[in-house]
Amino acid sequence: MQQRNKKTASPSLSLGNFASTIGENLLNDAKISTRDVNVSYGDKQAIYDASLDIGRNQVIALIGPSGCGKSTFLRCLNRMNDTIGICKVSGKLMLDGEDIYAKKMDPVLLRARVGMVFQKPNPFPKSIYDNVAYGPRIHGLARSNAEVDEIVITSLEKAGLFEEVKDRLNAPGTSLSGGQQQRLCIARTIAVSPEVILMDEPASALDPIATAIIEELIDELRQNYTIVIVTHSMQQAARVSQRTAYFHMGRIVEVGDTNRIFTNPRHEMTENYITGKFG
Amino acid sequence: MNNTETVKAGLKKRYAREKRFQFYGKAAVMSGFVFLIFLLFDITTKAIPAFSITEILLEVPMDRSSLGLSTDTSVSIDDEAIAAIDYAGLVKKSLRSQFPEATKRKDKKLLYRLMSGSAEYELRQLIIDDPGLIDGEPLSIWFKADDDVDTFYKLKRNTSRIKAQQVEFIASLKTESRIRTALNWDFFTNGDSREPEQAGIKGALLGSFWTLLVTLMVSLPVGIAAAIYLEEFAPQNRLTDFIEININNLAAVPSIVFGLLGLAVFINFFGMPRSVPLVGGLVLSLITLPTIIISSRAAIKSVPPSLREAALGLGASHMQMVFHHVLPQAMPGVLTGAIIGMAQALGETAPLLMIGMVAFIVDVPDGVLDSATVLPVQIFLWADSPESAFTALTAATILVLLAFLTVMNALAILLRNYFERQR
C-alpha cells in the first residue's frame, strides 16, 4: 500500500507520454488473443486498451506493481469477473478464435477450458480424492468410478502430489501443508483437462521450498497446457516463463521474451521495475 | 514528573477500573445463575407430587349376582351383558363392604368420594379384556384415589375439602395398608382430564410434537430456500431491499398477530379445521421463518469467497457452487438459526390460542389433523384450573417442556457438530 502511495506521489514513476505497448505483444497462432480490452469497476477503470496474445504451450508471466491490473486482466480470461456485478469488460478477447465474452459463450464451459489456480490455496473442505474428482464429476467427464479413479490418480501424478498422498486419499484436503494444498488445487484444475491454466500468484503464500516445487511443476505442465501466471516475484517470472508482460497502472507497458525483458528492457518503467527501483 | 512516574501514578486507577468491571460482570452472571437455580428449584419441588399418586386397595366381588348378571351358569355372558354391568355400583359396593359402618346416606356419599371417577372405567376395561374373571375369586385392585384424598394423603395437607369422616376412613385404610402412593404413570400416558388424578400430558406432548414437526417441515426448507435466493440469486434492487427490511421487521411482530393472521387465512379463508397441529404448525412457521431466514443469510454470507471462486473456477454452475459448497459450509449456522426458531416455536402460546388449540381435548392426537393442544398451552390451562392438584401438574408440565426443549436442542447440536466435522 505504501509503495502504491509512493508510486502515485512520485512523478518520475508515472507513465508519462504513454503511447502504446512496447515490444512483441502480438503473435501468430495465439491460444488467447486480446485486443483493446478495457475493464472498469463502476467509475474506476482498471485496465486501459490492453492488447496481448498468449502463445500455445508456453508460460507467460504478468508482472507489475500492486494494483496495476494484472489480476483483473487474468480474471477476464475465464470470466471470473462476471461474479462482480459492477465489473464492465469491453474489447475483444478470443480463445482459439472464439469470443470469450460472446453471448453464446457459456462461462461454465469456458471455465472448464480455462482453469484457474488462486493465490491462496483453497481446497474444498472435502477429501483429497473428492477435491480432484469434483470437476470431472460435475462435467460428466468420467463414465464410471474406475474412470474417476484414473483421472484422480493421473491428475495427482501430474501435479507431483500422488506419491505424498497416495496412502491418505480420504484425508481432508485442508489437512495438507500449504504447498501440498496448492499442488492439490493444481491437480484439481488439471483433472478437468483445461486448455489454459490461469495462475494468480500461486506461490505467494508458500515457503521457498514449496515455491520451487510449484515452479518446477509449472515448467512441466507447459508441455500440455498454456499457462498464464501472475506473479510479484521477478525471479519467479524469470525462472518459469517464456514471455513476460509488464503491467503498470492498468496498461500493458512492455511485452517480450522473458530473457529479453530481463536483460534488455526498452521502456524506462520496465527497467525501473525489474531493477527494483520501485515495486 | 517524568513519563514513568506519570504512567505509574495512573496505573492503580486503571487496575481498579478493571477490577470493578470484572466484579460487575461476575455479579451479573451470578445473579442470573441464582435466578435460574431458584426457578428450577421452585418448579421441581412443586412438580414432584405430580409424579406420584395415591391408590386405594379394593376387593371387588366377581360373582354373578354382585355383577348383576343372570345367576344361571348355563347362560353365556356376551359382550352386551358385560357392557351393561353397573361398574360404578360395583366400586361402591366394594367400598361399602370395606366400611360396613357407613350406613347413613351422608357417610356413604363421603365414602364414595374417596375414589377417583376413573375406578369404574378401569374395572370395566379389566373385565372386557378378560371376561374369564367373572365367576372367579374376588379381585384385589389398587384404584386411584380422588385428587382431594391424594393431596391430603401425599402432602399431609388438610384442606376444607376433606371431611372429618373421610379422615377417619383414610386412617382406617392406612392401618390396614390399603392405601399407598405409587408412581403416576398416567401423567405420561393420559390425555387431559377435568380430574387432576386422571390428567396426563401425552396429548399435549404429542400435540407439541406434531405441531413442531409441521413447523420444521415448512419453515426449514422455505427459510433456507428464501435465504439462498435472497443471498445468492436475487438482483440487488429496491424490491429486494424492501423485502429484506420487511423480513427483519417480521421478526419483531408480536406473535399473537400471527395467530390472528393464521385464523384469518388458514381457518377462515382456506377452511382448515380448528385446533389442529397442522394449522398450529403453519402459524408457528410464519413466526420462525424470519429467524431462520436472517440467520441462514448470515451463515451463507460468511462462507469465504475463496471457496466460491474455487468452485466457479472449476466450471461449477452458480447452483452447483451453492449446493455443493456454500450450503454445506453454511449448514451449522443455518441449524443454529433453526434451533433458535424451533425453541421459540415450542414455547409459543398466544398465537395458538387464536386458532383454537386452547380447547379442552382429552384424546391423544394421532396426526396433524387431530384436535390437539401443546405443552405451553396445557400449562396455561392447568395454571388456570381451580383444583389444587393442578398446581403440581402445571409445574411437572413445565419440567417436561424444559426436557423436550433440551432434547430438541441436543439433537440439533449433535447435527450441527456433524456438519462442522464435515467441513
Measured between beta carbons, the chain A residues lying within 8 angstroms of B310 are 118, 122-124, 185, 188
Question: Which tens digits make up the pLDDT trace of A26-65?
Answer: 888 889 999 999 999 988 999 999 899 999 999 999 998 8
- CB within 8 Å: A135 and B308: no
Top CATH class, B202-422: mainly alpha
Count CB atoms within 10 A of the CB of residue B318: 17
Residue A19: its pLDDT value, please?
62
Question: Number of folded domains in chain A?
Answer: 1
**ipTM for the complex?**
0.84
Residue B423: its pLDDT value, please?
61
Q: Give the residue numbers spanning the domain of A108.
A: 26-124+178-274
Give the whole-angstrom CA distance, residue B197 versus residue B184: 9
Give the whole-angstrom CA distance, residue A110 versus residue B151: 80
Euclidean distance between the first and the last CA atom of chain B, given in angstroms as a whole number: 58
Question: Taking an 8 Å Cβ-Cβ cutoff, which residues of chain B contact chain A?
Answer: 236, 304, 306-317, 320, 324-325, 328-329, 422-423
Q: Which of A15-19, A208-212, B258-262 has the lowest mean pLDDT?
A: A15-19
CA B101 to chain centre: 45
CA B149 to chain centre: 26
What confidence tier does B320 reach under pLDDT thresholds 50, 70, 90? very high
Nearest residue, CB atoms, A135 vs list B307, B309, B314: B314
Task: For residue A149, tell me if it sits in a domain.
Answer: no
Question: Taking an 8 Å Cβ-Cβ cutoff, which residues of chain A contact chain B?
Answer: 78, 80, 83, 85, 108-112, 115-118, 120, 122-125, 134-135, 138-139, 185, 188-189, 192
Question: Which tens digits make up the pLDDT trace of B356-407?
Answer: 888 888 888 998 899 999 999 999 999 988 888 899 999 999 999 999 999 9
Measured between beta carbons, the chain A residues lying within 8 angstroms of B328 are 125
Residue A205: its pLDDT value, please?
81
Angle at B284 between CA B278 and CA B290, to 5 degrees: 135
Across chain A, mean pLDDT equals 87
- CB within 8 Å: A124 and B317: no
Task: For residue A156, tell me if it sits in a domain.
Answer: no
Question: Which tens digits make up the pLDDT trace of B46-94?
Answer: 999 899 999 999 998 888 888 887 777 777 778 888 888 888 888 998 8
Give the whole-angstrom CA distance, residue B338 versus residue B212: 12
Task: For residue A92, tell me if it sits in a domain.
Answer: yes
Residue from A116, A131, A174, A199 whose CB has the most chain B CBs within 10 Å, to mutate:
A116
Domain chopping of chain B, boundaries: 53-182, 202-422
Query: In chain B, whose CA is at the least distance from the CA of A121?
Result: B306
Place of cell 506521489: A9
Residues in chain B: 423
Give the whole-angstrom CA distance, residue B178 versus residue B180: 7
- CB within 8 Å: A118 and B325: no
Query: In chain A, whose CA is at the least distance from the CA of B233?
Result: A83
Task: For residue A135, tell me if it sits in a domain.
Answer: no
| CATH number, position A240 | 3.40.50.300
Backbone angles phi, psi at B10, to 5 degrees: -80, -20
Q: What are the CA-CA distances from residue B61 to residues A208, B80, B139, B185 (Å)?
A: 97, 20, 6, 26
